[in-house]
């Protein structure tokens, strides 16, 4: 085929089914990369790697250090900040490289996600696989991704001032926005790959929305636990220091500040709201299996299995005092649980299949006789 012919074929509208599938798979890829980004971000927190890069260079930050001179310059800059001065004072250049690479990969992956979203979006828009009227929605998703990068740097800056730890509130906001972006990408992907029928099936959906709200609350408290190292206190279960309600749970004034700043309260809330979340997710999953549409049965089963695995990982992480592998698996499990619950929620919009009406066979008549 000649060059003009190829261009005409590329820029002509694709068949609707082909276009829907291509856009849906692209959005699923972006959602998967965002999930990976959250997991690697958790590793940077667990390994104290997040403050190794003390500068933010949006345009040139994807270029790694080239040569020992650049490595030495970066290390000297790192030495000027509290984490080196108070925590890693004896670290050499090789040790610095060990924490630098993980944060570097985390930031480069963020840029890769931006390109993976922006370039195919423009191609799909030009080739009319995405209609122009839908462009603002996708543009808003891209803006959210840019805001996520800004929020990430805002979080890192909180650990470069006086205390060698990022603000747990900014950490929770950074992770929360990532989960929102993941959810938006996933629902847009499902809209293309599994378009739903008009909303008619209400009962399982209400429970699934409650489950999502509880999962989001537990995730936020988990970020508080990670940001304050609260998981390294009271490593017993179900009691905390031999008590159901530990001393010091409401020492801050005003009382509501304890949920945000009191390490004892943060761990107490995380463990018990997590148990409530497990119970609700299982109950809702069983309700979907009983009353929900057939398309929601598979994600409901996987959702129940995921929440049981997640509870087991959380308990093991607590009792073993936050080993790196278990803590990372626990965070990964949270992303899997969010994804499966969103999938079950989407599929629960479908009405149950209606039985076909039984049609009576045509009446056989003999010529000249009336039917009885």
Domain ranges of the chain: 12-195, 199-352
Q: What is the DSSP letter of 254?
A: S
- Give pLDDT, residue 183: 94
User: How far apart are the C-alpha atoms of 268 and 118, rounded to whole Å?
Assistant: 42
pLDDT tens-digit readout, 63-90: 888 888 999 999 999 888 888 888 888 8
Residue 17 has pLDDT above 80, yes or no: no
Q: Could you count the other beta carbons within 10 Å of the beta carbon of residue 280? A: 18
Report which of residues 170 and 369 the model is more confident about.
170
Scan for tokens 């922006």, then name that residue: 118
Q: What is the DSSP letter of 257?
A: G
| Contact predicate 199/241, CB 8 Å | no
- Give pLDDT, residue 15: 58
Residue 313 has pLDDT above 80, yes or no: yes
Residue 215 has pLDDT above 50, yes or no: yes
The whole-chain average pLDDT of the chain stands at: 86
Task: Name the least confident of 60-64, 135-139, 262-266, 349-353.
Answer: 349-353
> 3-class secondary structure for 64-131?
CCCCHHHHHHHHHHHCCCHHHHHHCCCCCHHHHHHHHHHHHHHHHHHHHHHHHHHHHHHHHHHCCCCC
- Give pLDDT, residue 62: 82
How far is C-alpha 37 from the chain's CA centre?
9
pLDDT band at 196 (very low <50, low <70, confident <90, very high): low
Report which of residues 361 and 341 the model is more confident about.
341
- Give pLDDT, residue 33: 96
Residue 7 has pLDDT above 60, yes or no: no
User: How far apart are the C-alpha atoms of 102 and 116, rounded to whole Å?
Assistant: 21
Q: Give the Cα-Cα-Cα angle 350, 351, 354 (nearest 5 degrees).
A: 140
Q: Give the Cα-Cα-Cα angle 82, 224, 47 (nearest 5 degrees).
A: 50
Report which of residues 186 and 163 the model is more confident about.
186
> What's the average model confidence in pLDDT over 162-168?
84
The structure tokens listed for 88 are 């890693």
Residue 283 has pLDDT above 80, yes or no: yes
pLDDT band at 294 (very low <50, low <70, confident <90, very high): confident
What Å distances lie between residue 43 and 31, 93, 231, 326, 330, CA to CA?
19, 21, 15, 11, 11
- Give pLDDT, residue 356: 46
- The SS3 assignment for 277 reads helix
pLDDT band at 369 (very low <50, low <70, confident <90, very high): low
Report which of residues 196 and 48 the model is more confident about.
48
pLDDT tens-digit readout, 320-345: 999 999 999 999 999 999 999 999 99
> What's the average model confidence in pLDDT over 300-313?
96
The structure tokens listed for 193 are 């790959």
- Give pLDDT, residue 361: 53
- Give pLDDT, residue 202: 57
Residue 132 has pLDDT above 70, yes or no: yes
């Amino acid at each position: 085929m000649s060059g003009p012919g190829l261009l005409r074929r590329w820029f002509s509208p694709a068949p609707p089914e082909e276009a829907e599938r291509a856009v849906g798979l692209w959005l699923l890829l972006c959602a998967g990369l965002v999930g990976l980004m959250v997991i690697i971000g958790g590793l940077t927190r667990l390994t104290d790697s997040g403050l190794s890069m003390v500068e933010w260079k949006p345009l040139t930050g994807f270029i790694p250090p080239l040569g020992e001179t650049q490595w030495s310059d970066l290390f000297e800059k790192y030495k000027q900040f509290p984490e080196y001065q108070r925590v890693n004072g004896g670290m050499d250049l090789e040790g610095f490289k060990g924490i630098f690479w993980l944060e570097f990969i985390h930031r480069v992956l963020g840029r890769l996600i931006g390109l993976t979203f922006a370039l195919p979006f423009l191609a799909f828009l030009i080739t009319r696989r995405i209609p122009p009227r839908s462009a603002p929605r996708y543009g808003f998703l891209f803006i959210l991704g840019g805001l996520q990068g800004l929020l990430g740097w805002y979080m890192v800056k909180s650990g470069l001032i006086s205390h060698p730890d990022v603000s747990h509130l900014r950490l929770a906001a950074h992770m929360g926005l990532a989960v929102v972006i993941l959810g938006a990408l996933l629902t847009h992907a499902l809209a293309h790959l599994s378009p739903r029928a008009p909303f008619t099936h209400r009962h399982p959906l209400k429970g699934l929305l409650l489950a999502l709200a509880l999962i989001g609350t537990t995730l936020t408290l988990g970020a508080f636990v990670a940001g304050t190292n609260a998981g390294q206190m009271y490593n017993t279960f179900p009691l905390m220091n031999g008590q159901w309600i530990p001393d010091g749970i409401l020492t801050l004034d005003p009382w509501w500040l304890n949920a945000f700043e009191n390490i004892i309260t943060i761990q107490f809330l995380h463990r018990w709201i997590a148990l409530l979340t497990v119970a609700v997710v299982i109950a809702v999953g069983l309700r979907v299996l009983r009353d929900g549409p057939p398309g929601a049965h598979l994600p409901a089963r996987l959702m129940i299995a995921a929440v049981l695995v997640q509870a087991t990982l959380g308990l093991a992480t607590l009792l073993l005092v936050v080993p790196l592998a278990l803590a990372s698996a626990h965070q990964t499990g949270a992303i899997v649980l969010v994804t499966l619950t969103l999938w079950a929620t989407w599929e629960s919009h479908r009405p149950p299949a209606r039985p076909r009406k039984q049609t009576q066979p045509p009446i056989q008549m003999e010529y000249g006789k009336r039917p009885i």
